[in-house]
A and B are shown apart, each in its own frame.
Chain A
């Protein structure tokens, strides 16, 4: 059965490219327009992986990760950040919040799918 991924980003064009890349690799991808939307969708369905941006209106990526990690069903689900933020300081904050990896934009579709495959198979 295909693995499910929740892709959270406030940029429609970026989501479109994430969806295109991951669906081509056989994953089921659900989109969320910001952290709050992501949290609502994650509560309604447990995904195999969450891929989230950092800077978003209503709720940012770090807050989303902390919120997800406080839900029992999301304590072990891999969460990757996909963001323009590239500083060591932000990566450390992401790691402390519970992120399993940090991908700096722009992403290469092949490298993205390789990482996702490595993380969830």
Chain B
């Protein structure tokens, strides 16, 4: 093998390795964000279901007490029981509002996924558009130049994508977050 051919094989190897690394990185991030989206959605839906069922029960209890007042068959501590039922409804409504915020978080995760997928599409586009320049009469030096251009474009695209992405959503459950006053 000549020196020129050795150089070409090194560059081809580097290009394939770069492409593989970028592709794998994007796909790992996409997978992580999808798993987290799934966690948040599952927990939010489960908790929302529980909250609405609990609210329905509390509203039923409240209505029974009101009916008791209307028919003069209410228990002696009706005022206290009404207050308890009302508090329960409020508590479950607050829990439901906390869980309903899943849309905000999953929306951020999905936006990151879309940008990663776009990054992959751009990487394949770069590979396609640059390699189509290569013709049968290309010399080894010309091919090396094209490969170098592709490698650099892939690096640049990755750096640009990272700068555009917001930080990953760290929440993995729908419990209310910390509060800190400075």
Contacts and interface: CB of A to CB of B under 8 A. Distances in A.
Interface of A: 9, 11, 13-14, 17, 20-21, 55, 84-87, 90-91, 95, 99-111, 115, 118-119
B179 A103 contact: yes
A84 B181 contact: no
B103 interface: yes
A108 B98 CA distance: 5
Contact of A11 (B99, B104, B178): B104
Interface in B27-85: none
B179 A84 contact: no
Contacts of B175: 106
B130 interface: no
User: Which label, helix, strand, loop or mixed, suits the secondary structure of the A interface?
Assistant: mixed
Nearest to B90: A110
Contacts of A107: 98, 101, 176-177
26 contacts: A11-B103, A13-B100, A13-B103, A14-B103, A14-B104, A55-B108, A55-B167, A84-B105, A84-B170, A86-B171, A86-B178, A87-B170, A101-B181, A105-B101, A105-B104, A105-B105, A106-B102, A106-B171, A106-B174, A106-B176, A106-B177, A107-B176, A108-B94, A108-B98, A108-B176, A110-B94
Contact of B104 (A84, A110, A111): A84
A17 to B, nearest CB: 5
A102 B179 CA distance: 6
A20 B96 CA distance: 13
Contact of A91 (B97, B107, B180): B180
B166 interface: yes
B169 interface: yes
A84 B98 contact: no
A99 B182 contact: yes
A109 B94 contact: yes
Contact of A101 (B104, B170, B177, B180): B180
A17 B101 contact: yes
A103 B177 contact: yes
Given A84-B104, A106-B174, A107-B176, A118 B181 contact: yes
Given A55-B108, A55-B166, A84-B108, A95 B98 contact: no
B178 A100 contact: no
